Chain A
Amino acid sequence: MLPFLATTGLAAPETFDFKDPKGVNAITFKLDAPLEAINGSAGGITGTVSFDPQNPGATTGKIVVASASLTVPNAMQTTHLRGSQWLDVEKNPEITFEAKELKNVKTAGDKTTAEVAGTFWLHGVSKDLTVPVELSYLPDKLGERLGGNQKGDLLVLRCDFAIKRSDFKINQGQMENKVSDTINLTVGIVGASAK
């Protein structure tokens, strides 16, 4: 039955878990500043994405980032970043993006590019965003990646976009001469669907 469904395009979508056992998943961020751009990353990533290789345009899902995992190379700056004046991670422990719809979907082989529309939650503020995304479907690569006999597929998501901290009331209107209002984000994450 399943091979029949797969060949007729009726295979069920797979659910990919983005809690990476290898800890590779990361979202990097960059804010321009006079002396040196502030470059950091967040590694506490979880969430699931529903992806159908026969119908990538139907992809939906939610990615969650633990706010307390945001780190920059300077310990004092990391403390400030997580503190009440900036992200206030105790009150806002999660940053999330919930993908609701894919637009302008183009698929070539196992690679799909699209614009993903969804809701971005940061610092207690939600905002609807549409950002470019690239999805790479890697069938039967789970075992190769984890170095075991586990069978399953991988889904790699890549995405570059920018937000403004003022839109999310992060130290709004303050210190813009020292830390830019624009936050550039680069997402590179992989999810696994075990079989």
Chain B
Amino acid sequence: MNDQKKIRLEKIDDYRWRIPRTGKMQVEGLIYADERLLREIREDESTKQVANVAHLPGILKYSLAMPDIHWGYGFPIGGVAAFDWQEGVISPGGVGYDINCGTRLISTNLSVQDLKGKIKDLVNALYQNIPSGVGSKGALRLSVHELRQVLKDGSAWAVGNGYGWPEDLERTEDRGCMEGANPEVISDRAVDRGRPQLGTLGSGNHFLEVGFVDEIYNPQVARVFGLRKDQVTVLLHSGSRGLGYQVCDDFLKKMGERVRQSGLELPDRQLACDYIRSATGQDYFSGMACAANYAWANRQMLMHWTREVFERFLQMGPKELGMHLVYDLCHNIAKREWHMVDGERREVCVHRKGATRAFPAGHPAVPEAYRDVGQPVLIPGDMGRYSFVLVGTEQALDETFGSTCHGAGRVQSRTQAKKASKGRALHRELEDRGIFVMAASRGTLVEEAPEAYKDVSQVVEVVHQAGISRKVARLRPWGVIKG
């Protein structure tokens, strides 16, 4: 789109850039990036989207963007925006289609040595037992009544039905259950899409990855998280499947109609939104909470089967294996939280679309086990390089409503990645680097090739240097299942 005006950016420091207020912007924009990342960011329209979000009623402080920002629908991916609960809006486009898409990290008592020569067979066993791929359906056949329980209770439903341990709930953001979930507002369509898919990984960038800790940056915090060098870990990335997509779609339509009726002026149709206190706003919040709970139950079940496979494969008991949940978090969500705004404690709705919560030590929402150090932040990279574990900070709470980045972000489109991998044996290339991958289709594998993504370490370096989260450990992939 060449007719778009370039958005003016002012450098604040090496890691912060301001978009000054112009026109009807309610607040400034604030982008976290270094010069190198900013050059890539400026190639698409995401900076304009940061400015667009700043137009929405009730937005507080800044329209924020993390260093992994890229072009989304309406809101940029990697965007954070908080709205006054009483006077502000809520927007399905500020959350995204995959509601509560998120990551989960599991530790083990195993060291790299224990799995030497076994990784292929282990990944095979995981692949056989974890449903993945396009439109994958789970082994479960839930009744509508059971699904409603899942939507209300989230991870607690899963644990209550034998998928996991009670301690898992304490180490899940919001204990794996968002309050306010009301299945009444969910369409039959969303229910139909969601029922057969609970307990499935999905496809695209969703994955299950056996890896290991290859670098510790902060030994004290790593110890509290239960992480040590050479330890085998499992990282999981999945969301609310068709149910979440449908909830988003249903409410984009409803809010689009509301915008038309109310005459609310929006710079982009995709910013469709409504006041949080309105009936539609409340319904969306309740529906989104249902989808969030579905996603938590989903990841909880995927983790449970992963534990079972490890136990069978290694002939070890759960105690001996020690597969504890380190943390589970969402990176597509709108949350009801309290934050200090201009010296005043305010109830706000924080939209994190491709952004992660990063609360500091002492915050009551941080699990007790981690309260002295801060909330774990999980940042997955591509399947060929590494992922990161960070910890939340006070500065994040001050500056970004307690938020940080969420991942690497693509540099190549899917088609570019496909072209670049033509005639290449990507499996073999990865195996030569010591990474064994199983994918439901070659299509997914090549689209997800490592070089299709930014180097996640660049993204992490920015949030670390800016102080909105701190590096704790780095994980290397070893065996990967791609949907």
Chain B binds chain A: no
Taking Cβ atoms with an 8 Å cutoff, the residues of A that contact B are: none
